[in-house]
């Protein structure tokens, strides 16, 4: 009896052991399966978000191209504002001191009177007010988006969809979450700000329309009344002051960055930069037997990189990269259309119905603009940008690096009206006396920009020989611009750069690269 009981107990123990083992295996298998499903769902979600971001990016490029056609490229009057030419050489303390001194001057000239006797806010303070308002608006948009995404996630976690709720109910939930996350109520003025962000779709609340606002207001005491946003304080205005570039916004921008929404969950930032205000890297590929300045190309880039505080090994690495690119394609100032000869099949049918394939030689011309595309693609793949993107060591503002001032998109002319000091000195290193000529240009354009290059030769007659050597590299009007798009959708980010040539109202796209 005893032995039978022990045997039965042992059998039960073995069965329990196998049962526990089976449960452990089942648990591990279930966990692994759920993990795989979660990873797969995350990957699929990322792919969907990435495709949305790609679509938003391509739509934004088309929008920016259409907008650029009518965008003026005239230089603004910067009298009364600090000059942008030497901002790259300032550290944060010096920059803050410069802004503080400027703010003190503006405080004494807060309002100005025009010829008609109308009094208005100083234009630089008006620009700072606009900037501050835009910054506040962007923060509100982000906060409303965050609240909206939180509500949508909660709805999905419950196994429901937005169609299971009335628009007013969703909007009330968004308002509640917004208040929990920001410790301030979602007032009507904030809602009006987030309703239309200038893009295709956009806005912060469900419905994205005036009907949605009416629904929210009628849903109870959500908004007691519409309150006009308070104007920025003087401290906020000072924080909004930025040293203007040649077109008004900070150098090298042609216009203020534009942020807009595409659909419910994609946001796009558009910036347009002046490529002719930068130092063209194509000059490092110069190979022109008829021009005696080619030996000075290393001096040009040494001057530039020394201004940027680059290490010797980084300068040599850059020059080695351009030498390798030059083995593929060099540069000269007489860029002609590229003739491409190829043999193409031609099929003919005889009277008897017999088909014969023959080959004939066809010659086509590529526009000289396509040289720019070649250089842009060569620079994209052939230059190590790691060292170029590092902030200036020991001094300089955050974001000040060599890459910001280098023209990597096929430019070969420098606009003397928009280039900063170190770019001017670098390009005039080909002819000599770069520091003196740069000083002369900077002082003159503070008063009036150059209309013709001959004006520079006449004013700087003592340096005429140096100027004539580099005249082919100079211009007084920018035509090459880059459109930079940053589209984000969830965790997916797509960046696109498109290089365009703008002549009055005609815009020609040269190359588009997506990262």
pLDDT band at 6 (very low <50, low <70, confident <90, very high): low
For residues 263 and 63, what is the distance between their CA atoms, to the nearest angstrom? 15
Asked if the model's pLDDT at residue 205 lies above 80, the reply is no
Taking residues 466-495, report their average pLDDT. 91
pLDDT for the residue 338: 64
| Closest to 274 (Cα-Cα) out of 68, 488, 492 | 68
Q: Look up residue 53 and give its two tokens.
A: 């971001």
Domain boundaries, the chain: 89-244, 276-338+369-514
How are beta strands 279-280 and 406-407 bridged, if at all? parallel
Q: Which residue did the predictor score with more confidence, 236 or 80?
A: 80
Residue 421 has pLDDT above 90, yes or no: yes
Q: Residue 90: pLDDT above 90?
A: no
pLDDT tens profile 265-278: 788 999 999 999 99
pLDDT at 28: 81
Q: Name the strand (E) or helix (H) holding 11.
A: helix 2-69
pLDDT at 302: 92
| pLDDT tens, position by position, 312-371 | 898 999 999 999 998 998 888 877 766 666 666 766 666 666 666 666 666 666 666 788
- pLDDT of amino acid 247: 94
pTM: 0.77
Residue 94 in tokens: 């010096």
Q: Indicate whether 395 pLDDT > 60.
A: no
Mean pLDDT of 175-201: 66
pLDDT of 368 reads: 67
- pLDDT score at 382: 87
pLDDT tens track for 117-142: 778 777 888 888 888 877 777 777 77
Q: What is the separation of C-alpha 110 from the centre of its chain, rounded to a whole number of angstroms?
A: 33
CA distance 465 to 471: 10
- How many other CB atoms are found less than 10 A from the CB of residue 391? 15
């Amino acid at each position: 009896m005893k032995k039978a009981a022990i045997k039965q107990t042992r059998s039960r123990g073995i069965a329990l052991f196998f049962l526990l083992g089976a449960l452990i295996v089942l648990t591990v298998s279930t966990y692994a399966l759920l993990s795989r499903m979660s990873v797969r769902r995350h990957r699929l979600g990322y792919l969907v978000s990435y495709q949305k971001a790609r679509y938003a990016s391509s739509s934004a490029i088309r929008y920016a191209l259409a907008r650029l056609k009518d965008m003026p490229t005239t230089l603004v009057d910067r009298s009364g504002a600090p000059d942008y030419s030497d901002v790259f050489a300032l550290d944060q303390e010096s920059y803050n001191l410069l802004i503080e001194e400027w703010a003190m001057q503006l405080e004494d000239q807060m309002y100005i009177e025009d010829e008609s006797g109308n009094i208005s806010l100083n234009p630089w303070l008006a620009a700072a007010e606009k900037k501050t308002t835009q910054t506040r608006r962007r923060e509100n948009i982000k906060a409303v988006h965050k609240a909206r995404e939180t509500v949508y996630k909660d709805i999905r976690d419950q196994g429901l969809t937005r169609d299971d709720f009335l628009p007013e109910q969703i909007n009330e939930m968004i308002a509640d979450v917004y208040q929990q996350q920001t410790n301030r109520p979602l007032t009507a003025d904030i809602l009006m700000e987030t309703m239309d962000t200038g893009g295709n779709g956009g806005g912060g609340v469900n419905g994205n329309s005036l009907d949605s606002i009416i629904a929210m207001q009628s849903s109870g005491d959500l908004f007691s009344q519409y309150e006009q946003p308070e104007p920025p304080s003087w401290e906020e205005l000072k924080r909004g002051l930025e040293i203007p570039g040649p077109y008004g916004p900070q150098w090298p921008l042609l216009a203020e960055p534009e942020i807009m929404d595409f659909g419910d969950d994609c946001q796009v930032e558009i910036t347009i930069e002046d490529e002719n205000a930068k130092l063209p890297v194509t000059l490092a590929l110069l190979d022109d037997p008829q021009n005696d300045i080619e030996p000075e190309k290393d001096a040009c880039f040494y001057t530039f990189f020394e201004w940027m505080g680059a290490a010797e090994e980084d300068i040599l690495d850059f020059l080695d990269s351009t030498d390798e690119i030059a083995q593929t394609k060099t540069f000269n100032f007489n860029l002609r259309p590229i003739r491409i000869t190829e043999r193409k099949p031609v099929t003919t049918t005889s009277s008897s119905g017999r088909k014969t394939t023959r080959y004939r030689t066809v010659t086509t011309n590529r526009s000289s603009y396509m040289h720019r595309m070649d250089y842009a693609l060569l620079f994209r793949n052939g230059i190590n940008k790691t060292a170029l993107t590092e902030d200036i060591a020991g001094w300089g503002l955050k974001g000040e690096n060599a890459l910001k001032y280098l023209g990597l998109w096929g430019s070969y002319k420098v606009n003397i009206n928009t280039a900063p000091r170190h770019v001017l000195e670098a390009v005039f290193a080909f002819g000599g006396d770069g520091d003196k000529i740069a000083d002369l240009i900077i002082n003159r354009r503070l008063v009036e920009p150059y209309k013709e290059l001959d004006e520079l030769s006449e004013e700087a007659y003592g340096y005429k020989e140096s100027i004539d050597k580099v005249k082919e590299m100079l211009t007084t009007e920018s035509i090459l611009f880059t459109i930079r798009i940053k589209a984000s959708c969830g965790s997916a980010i797509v960046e696109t750069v498109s290089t365009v040539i703008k002549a009055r109202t005609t815009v020609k796209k040269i190359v588009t690269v997506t990262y």
